[in-house]
Amino acid sequence: MTQVPEKVDFSRVLTELADVLDSRREASPQTSYVSQLLHAGEDKILKKVIEEAGEVLMASKDGDKQHLVKEVADVWFHTMVLLTYHQIRVEDVLQELQQRQNVSGLTEKANRQPQ
């Protein structure tokens, strides 16, 4: 598996990808896969997220780490398309993760407000 360079700004990578996804909102569905998904609507995007999650499961069970990395990237990508559809920025998710940092998962779960 490839080593990640030490100084990768992960939030910048995600933010730049989110910017590209936002720009695809105005693109023609004939020229952009993301635009096709956004124009097809939430159900199509959700089906892609579920499909990719299933592929993550299979890659994990196969024990092929490189395949697993690629499938997780696909899940992240399609989840970001879903966020774009709902006009939610990746920074919102990163902020939520930051707030959960150094908090026990059990404590965080117990403190969640009912939806």
State residue 10's pLDDT score.
87
* 33-63 tens-digit pLDDT: 999 999 999 999 999 999 999 999 999 999 9
Residue listed under structure tokens 């939520």: 96
Query: What residues contact 85, with CB distance under 8 A and at least 6 apart?
Result: 37, 38, 41, 42, 45
Looking at residue 2, its pLDDT comes to 61
* pTM for the model: 0.84
